[in-house]
Amino acid sequence: MIFEILTIFPGMFSSPLEESIVGKARDRGLIDVRVHNIRDFAADRHQMTDDRPFGGGEGMVMKPEPIVKALRAIKDCGPPARSILLTPQGRLFNQEIARELSRLPRLILICGRYEGVDERVAEYFTEDQISIGDYVLTGGELAAMVMVDAVARLLPGVLGNEGSAVADSFSEPVLEHPQYTRPQDFEGMGVPAVLLCGSHASIRRWRRGQALLRTRMRRPDLFARLSPTAEDIVLLESARRELEERV
Ligand code: 6GU
């Protein structure tokens, strides 16, 4: 899968997309991330990419010409691409959108600065607009990195263990159960005895109860979307009782 990123800050993308799983996926040719500097497509002598807003007001607006010139140059070389503007005005990014995008051969991610991009770019030159959450960033660059990470890990071969992207939080809208590793005693704090008992069935049931309880306590919005089985209700109740006994 190919990610084309249009930005006025190409340097921001170097280390975050060169390390770890995304970096390895690039090295192995599973994904290709191409970062393009919008400034290179600015025609005037000063390579201006923004200008004052018509109608007045604070801040600067990104000019349409350099972005559209970059889009035209990129669109023509490679497989079909969806052009996405990253903006707080976009639809809210989530796991379902990540899955949808992971089925496409190529994405063009346009990083706007927070004051905005000329509306004609959004209206006539992009197919989609995405926000990564209800808070304001200084630009779309971090949002683009979040999207590349979330989409890349869904592609075949990117995670070593194929099952894990499927089993994650939000495939079913349930939070993950707590995890523990060695040492068994860390500064006087132990680990739940059930995890040491060796019974896979007991461990599975305990984890499911913990996952459900966590979801109900921390994310009632997700919990409301669940349809718990009869067993789920039993496991949830015993997780709740276990917590009650601890306090
Ligand atoms: Cl995509 N851009 C900016 N500037 N702020 C955001 C965002 C995007 N998503 C959430 N906040």
Q: State which of 162, 197, 222 marks the end of a domain.
A: 162
Q: State which of 162, 187, 221 marks the end of a domain.
A: 162
| Nearest atom (ligand 1) to Cα of 144 | 1
More confident of the two residues 33 and 169: 33
| Nearest atom (ligand 1) to Cα of 130 | 1
> Which amino acid residue places its CA nearest to atom 11 of ligand 1?
136
pLDDT at 113: 87
Q: Is residue 97 part of a domain?
A: yes
Same domain, 137 and 92: yes
pLDDT at 19: 92
pLDDT tens per residue across span 89-102: 999 999 999 999 99
- Per-residue pLDDT averaged across 203-224, rounded? 98
In angstroms, what is the span from residue 147 Cα to ligand 1's centroid? 12
pLDDT at 128: 98
pLDDT at 140: 98
Q: Is residue 167 part of a domain?
A: no
Same domain, 130 and 214: no
Q: State which of 130, 162, 194 marks the end of a domain.
A: 162
pLDDT at 235: 98
Q: How many domains does the chain have?
A: 2
pLDDT tens per residue across span 159-197: 987 666 765 656 789 999 999 999 999 999 999 999 999
- Burial annotation 53-91 (CB, 10 A radius, 16+ → b, else e): eeeeeeeebbbbebbbebbeebeeeeeebebbbbbbebe
CATH at 209: 1.10.1270.20
Residue positions annotated with a catalytic role: 88, 115, 153, 168
Give the domain range for residue 234. 172-246
In angstroms, what is the span from residue 111 Cα to ligand 1's centroid? 9
Residue 8 confidence class, pLDDT cut points 50, 70, 90:
very high
Same domain, 42 and 137: yes
Same domain, 127 and 179: no
- Burial annotation 194-209 (CB, 10 A radius, 16+ → b, else e): eeeeeeeeebebbbbb
Same domain, 92 and 187: no
Same domain, 158 and 211: no
Ligand 1: residues with CB < 6 A are 86-88, 114, 131-133, 135-137, 139-140, 143
| Nearest atom (ligand 1) to Cα of 139 | 4
pLDDT tens per residue across span 107-163: 999 999 878 999 999 999 999 999 999 999 999 999 999 999 999 999 999 998 766
CATH at 135: 3.40.1280.10
Rounded to the nearest integer, the mean pLDDT of the chain is: 95
pLDDT at 132: 98
Same domain, 187 and 153: no
In angstroms, what is the span from residue 83 Cα to ligand 1's centroid? 16
